[in-house]
Structures are given as structure tokens and as C-alpha cells.
Structure 1
Amino acid sequence: MVVASGGGRNAWAKEMTIRRRMASIFNKTREHFPSLKDYNDYLEEVEDMTFNLIEGIDVDAIEDKIARYQQENAEQIYLSRAKRAEDLAAALKASRMNPGKAGANDMAAGSSQGISSGTGVQQGQYAPAAVPGGLAQPRPTGMAPQPIGGSDAPLQGDDEETMRLRAERGARAGGWTVEMCKRRALQEAFSSIFV
């Protein structure tokens, strides 16, 4: 990850926002290119543009290039987003059917898929909706979002145990683990020795 000059939490948030935006626009996969070299050149060009946007280098020219790319590849971008949403919905459905076997690997695999022909929309999946210009855009249909975890009902009440469980689930949902905290403390301790 590239750290933008200026440092701090705002720089990180700016970088993540730019990277998410670029990934949603430049979402071609290896299958879209005749050779690995062409695909690697595409990835390198996207990373160069991303870095320059983060650092504020030639922003107007890059924004023009992004706008042109979006215009020329609008259909492919929408189809890829719809396919990714369908894959994620299928992985979520599979993980609900087999909670012990399907999980993060299925979700990660689903999010990295390219475009392909869809086979129909099932309950809980995203269906492409028609938008002006005849392009497809993913829209949620079907069921309402369900909480991830063992129970269908959210934790109710204000007793101490419920508050503790909410805090633990919130920390896990945010990606926090005890092991991560220990590794970070050790890394910071050892990095300060050599200063």
C-alpha cells in the first residue's frame, strides 16, 4: 500500500477511497486479455494512475482518461459489477447452507471473478436493472439483509453480557483480533529499538 504524503488517517482514507473507485472502474480480469503481458501492462497503467491520483500528480489529465475509459467501457464495467454481485450473493447463500465449510475463501473467490453470462436471478441475488442507454446496473432484489452470525435476531437488552457480546461482535466485524493486536505491539516495540 502506498502512503500518501501528508500522512495520518486522512491520507489512508483518501488512498482507500481512490483505490476502491479505481477498482470499480478498471475491473478487467486476465480473461479479457490475449496475453499475460497485456494484462500486466493494464494493471501497471492502472496502478500508475492510482498512485498519481493519491499524490495529486496531473489529476486533471488522469480524470479525463478515467472519464474516457468509463464512456468506452461502460457496458463491460456494469456487467462486471453485476457478475461480482451475483457471485457474492451465491457465495453468501452457499455459506448459509454450509456454515462450517463455506466462508471467507468463497467470498474472496467470488469477488475476484470477471464477467460471464448470468444464468438467471434467484431470491437474494442482485438482478441487473435497465438504465438509460440500455446498460445494466446491479440493483438489490428479494430478501432484506440478514445479520451475519449464529442467530437471526439482533442482541437486545442492556445487561452486561449483551453489551460484552455486542462489543466482541463489533470488533470482529471490524477485523480486530487479539493476535493482530499482539503482532502490532511486538512490531512497534521492536521497531523502536533500532531508532
Structure 2
Amino acid sequence: MVVANAFAKEMAIRKRIASIYNKREEDFSSLKEYNDYLEEVEDMIVNLVEGIDVPSIEARIVEYQRENAEQIMNAQARKAEEYAAALAASKGQLPQTGVDISLSSETVNNTVPQGQYAPAIAGGGIAQPRPMGPVGSGHDMMGYEYEDEETMKLRAEKAARAGGWSTEMSKKRALEEAFASIWV
């Protein structure tokens, strides 16, 4: 139970920090600057989870929020737009018009049939987003995938099969151990 509470605490902290420190790689002039930013954010998360220098970190977060409020809001709006576009794409609709493209055979700029992935065209063509799934369907705020119970079970079964085990083998062994313990 303690592990579950620690995990829940860490996830809550990660979600909160990710909503504030939400810059992307394209927001930086170099990969090194972006990696330094990610390292700083991760250090803050670890220190908050471990309870190290919490008042100082909280003060830094408040100051960062105050100084970068507009940028934070823009990044959150951009993320919301991406989720909306992905949701529309997963339903087979163009996000701007709401037109159903799954039944149409018209083309985008006479080159790519609608309903197919079309990369962004520099001349102002329509770009279809890659479907990421609806909001809340598998990714947390940092973009890490989380799994439901069924997915975890399937993953465990695949891992067991890869290691040479099978569910039948486990069942057989459990039955053998159960009957071996019966005294007649």
C-alpha cells in the first residue's frame, strides 16, 4: 500500500510539473539546451518526491509560472489543439470542418486520397495529423504510455511466452503442487 501511495504521489507531482514546465525541443535553439532543461525538470521532480528542499523548489516553480505565464498557456493551448485534431482524426473527420473523410474518395490537392496520411505541404495544403488516440486513452502529461489491466496482462503473457513459459505450463504446475500436498 505504501508503494501505491508513493507512486500516486510521484505521478501527481509529475503531472503538475509537466503542466508548468511544458516546453518542447523545438522551443530551444540546440539539443543541449533542451536536454539541460529536461534534466533540471527531472531533478526538481525527484527532489519533490523525496522531500528534498521543497520550499526552495516550490518558490522556483511559482517564479517560473509568473515569468512564463503566457508561454505556459500557449503550450497548453497547443497541446489541447493537438488532442482535438488527433481525436477528430481518430474519428475520421477533418478537425477544421468536421467533414467525414472515411467515406469520401475526394483528394487533398489532387494528390492524396482523403482519409490517408498527407504530410504538411509548404504551399498551404491541408495537413492531416497523425492519430494519437482520444484524450486520456493511454498517455499521461509527459507523453509516457500508461496501461490498463488488460494490456498489462497481455504484455505479461507475451513476456512469459518469449521466455519459454505458457499459461498451460503454469496451470499444470499449480495443479501438480496442489495435488502433491494432499495426504491420503
Aligned residue among 10, 30, 33 for 2:5: 10
Larger Rg: 2
Is residue 2:48 matched to residue 1:74? no
Q: Distance in 1 between matches of 2:160 and 2:23?
A: 38
1:56 pairs with 2:51 = yes
User: Is 1:176 paired with 2:150?
Assistant: yes
Runs of 4+ in 1 over 4 A off after TM superposition: 183-187
Alpha-carbon distance in structure 2 between the residues aligned to 1:66 and 1:19: 13
In the TM superposition, residue 32 of structure 1 has moved relative to its aligned partner by 1.3
Aligned to 1:36: 31
Greater relative contact order structure (CA < 8 Å, 6+ sep): 2
Amino acid at match of 2:88: K
How far off its partner does 1:174 sit? 3.1
Give the TM-score normalised by the residue count of structure 2: 0.56
Q: Secondary structure at the match of 2:80?
A: helix
Asked whether the 8 Å contact 1:95–1:101 carries over to 2, the reply is no
Task: Show the counterpart of 1:22.
Answer: 17
The alignment-based identity, stated in percent, is: 51
Shift of 1:184: 7.2
Deviates more, 1:176-185 or 1:12-21: 176-185
Flag the 1:76–1:182 CA change in 2: closer, same or farther, 3 A.
Answer: same
Instruction: Report SS of the residue matched to 1:176.
Output: helix
Q: Distance in 1 between matches of 2:2 and 2:116?
A: 41
In structure 1, what is the Cα distance between the partners aligned to 2:32 and 2:2?
34
- Partner AA of 2:82 in structure 1: D
SS at match of 1:76: helix
Q: Unmatched 5+ residue regions in structure 1?
A: 1-5, 113-172, 190-195
Distance 1:176 1:184 in 2: 14
Q: Residue 106 of structure 1 corresponds to which residue in structure 2? A: 131
Which structure 2 segments of 5+ residues have no match?
93-101, 103-114, 118-129, 141-146, 166-184
Shift of residue 181, structure 1, vs aligned partner = 4.0
Q: How many residues are treated as equivalent by the alignment?
A: 119
